[in-house]
Amino acid sequence: MIYTILAVLLVIVLGSIKQIDEYERGIKFRFGKYSRTMNPGWSIVLPIIESYKKVDIRTKAVDVPEQDAITKDNVSIRINAVLYFKVFDASKAILAVEKYNYAVSQLAQTTMRNAVGEVSLDELLSERDKISSKICKIVDEATDEWGIKVENVELKDVRLPEEMKRVIARVAEAEREKEAVITKSRGEVEASENLVKAADNLTASPGALHLRTLETLNDISSDQSNTIVFAMPIEILEAIQGLNNKLNDKK
């Protein structure tokens, strides 16, 4: 009989020993009331009168499901995100909120829709990091009382309607054409300025125009298929005309 009682007591004692791993904390209840937070190691949890719950305090990544949202400029989009958080107070995570993982995800969804509604589509696409930081700050402040620290929020994907994609593509194409026209016009301006400088230099140097003409004729004469039409420089024509006038005066 004594051995039986001792065996039962031994089973009860061994069954009362609970292990808490390094990345966990245990929340102990006695008669249904919060007793204390169990740190890593072995702890005694008495049967019937005591119970406990384990809380994982490692950083968790939670996918925020894809949501329909409307931007400030009334563009319908679908957006999703990933949220990183960890429990810093295990007792609050158990006592202050039911299913804290689910609660954080729902809060992030609502906050994300509200944040998207406060910005235009251009701001959403160009300032994604800024909007992510705003969502993170709002959710973190709201979850402090749950013993949860939100470390980061990243917007993963922004899906646009097909007609909006086509509009954006046309706008981008128009911008590229605009840049091409501006670049071409700048090149023409620079070319015209260089031509003016070249003309001034040729005009200022006696004989330079003739040398340039001969150089051009030499370049195009290398191809036998070209037909050369020689334009007489105006200086030569003026010289011939002056000589003709002198001859006429002598007569």
Question: pLDDT digits over 54-82, tens only?
Answer: 999 999 998 888 888 888 888 888 898 99
Residue-wise DSSP of 107-153: HHHHHHHHHHHTS-HHHHHH-HHHHHHHHHHHHHHHHGGGTEEEEEE
d(C-alpha 90, C-alpha 72), whole Å:
39
CA quadruple 142, 144, 148, 152: dihedral, nearest 10: 60
Percent of the chain beyond pLDDT 70? 71
Q: What is the pLDDT of residue 195?
A: 67
d(C-alpha 39, C-alpha 16), whole Å:
16
d(C-alpha 86, C-alpha 146), whole Å:
11
Q: What is the pLDDT of residue 88?
A: 93
CA quadruple 112, 116, 117, 123: dihedral, nearest 10: 160
Q: What is the pTM of this model?
A: 0.63
- Comparing 30 with 229, the larger pLDDT belongs to 30
Residue range 135-141: average pLDDT?
A: 93
Residue range 28-40: average pLDDT?
A: 91
The confidence band for 25, taking pLDDT boundaries of 50, 70 and 90, is very high
Check pLDDT > 90 for residue 140.
Answer: yes
- Comparing 103 with 166, the larger pLDDT belongs to 103
Residue range 178-206: average pLDDT?
A: 72
The confidence band for 40, taking pLDDT boundaries of 50, 70 and 90, is very high
Give me the domains of the chain, ranges plus CATH numbers: 2-56 (no CATH), 60-160 (3.30.479.30)
Q: What is the pLDDT of residue 202?
A: 58
| pLDDT tens-digit series, residues 197-209 | 766 665 666 555 5
Residue pointed to by tokens 């993170």: 136
User: Which range, 61-65, 144-148, 207-211, 240-244, has the best average confidence (pLDDT)?
Assistant: 144-148
- Comparing 97 with 216, the larger pLDDT belongs to 97
Burial class (CB in 10 A: 0-12, 13-18, 19+), 220: exposed
The confidence band for 187, taking pLDDT boundaries of 50, 70 and 90, is confident
Check pLDDT > 60 for residue 112.
Answer: yes
Average model confidence (pLDDT) for the chain? 80
